[in-house]
Structure 1
């Protein structure tokens, strides 16, 4: 299965420079997870996704912390790297975590508001 299929609704982007990105237009995917902490200010925006992804990266793939970077905006989550394989490992693992409700809620419990 191609990476693009494995990580939907995240989108795999290959840049001319050789770097790669994973993006998500936020708002609907996993909105229920972010709603659990709405009283704390979480909205499910790109920054909230960045906080969640950061917890995942630090706890599950700590060896990639300095390789995979995040550049979220209000309406979009973005992870990028010059190391294609590292970003693939992150994207596939993060998507799998998102699909496991118990795992993603546990990780989100440690996310910090940006």
Structure 2
């Protein structure tokens, strides 16, 4: 798969290559905010931390082999996952984006996300 296809496939997440690692990030507020609105009364505000909580549940339940390989470094306005294993991070973000596109699945996963 060409890089352009991959970058299109994961939008609005974006890929960043560093010298010894890779990251995939998302500016919060531009994608799937309806997920977080379902638990607004519990304090979820769609921050990068809330996205990381959702991504942790996703990893735990659907991609456990990546738990020790994919790390998170969220900020209030940005979700960021990173790894020194480029292929593993690609596997994660393609699967996570696909999960986000499946309303039933992503709401189910989010029901078990915990506030950071």
What range is the shorter-chain TM-score in?
A: over 0.9
Structure 2 gaps, min length 5 = none
Alignment of 1:81-96 (within 5 A): 81-96=83-98
Structure 1 gaps, min length 5 = none
Residue 8 (structure 2) pairs with residue 5 (structure 1): yes
- TM-score, normalisation: structure 2: 0.95
Moved over 3 A (4+): none
Contact 1:3-1:12 at 8 Å conserved across structures: no
Q: Deviations over 1:55-103 (max 9, x none)?
A: 0011111011000000000000000000000000000000000001001
- The number of equivalent residue pairs is 113
How much is the aligned-residue C-alpha RMSD, in angstroms?
0.8
Q: Deviations over 1:31-61 (max 9, x none)?
A: 1110000000000110000000000011111
Q: Which of 49, 54, 58 pairs up with 2:56?
A: 54
Alignment of 1:30-41 (within 5 A): 30-41=32-43
Quote how far apart the aligned CAs of 1:5 are: 1.0
Give me the whole-angstrom Cα distance separating, in 2, the residues matched to 1:57 and 1:85. 15
SS of residue in 1 equivalent to 2:34: helix
